[in-house]
Amino acid sequence: MIKNGFDDSVLNEVITTLRKKEPLKNHNLKTTN
């Protein structure tokens, strides 16, 4: 449970950073997918 929570937190931070770094790329990737 703890590991899953930690992973989720890290993943959330990575996603946020990626979104702030290249929101256009993220949006494009989502649209393409």
Tell me the per-residue pLDDT of 1-33, one tens digit each, with 9 for 90 and over.
456 666 788 888 988 888 887 666 656 666 654
Q: Give 33's DSSP letter.
A: -
The pLDDT value given to residue 19: 80
Q: Which two tokens stand for residue 29?
A: 């990737």
The pLDDT value given to residue 31: 61
User: Among candidates 27, 5, 9, which has minimal Cα distance to 18?
Assistant: 27
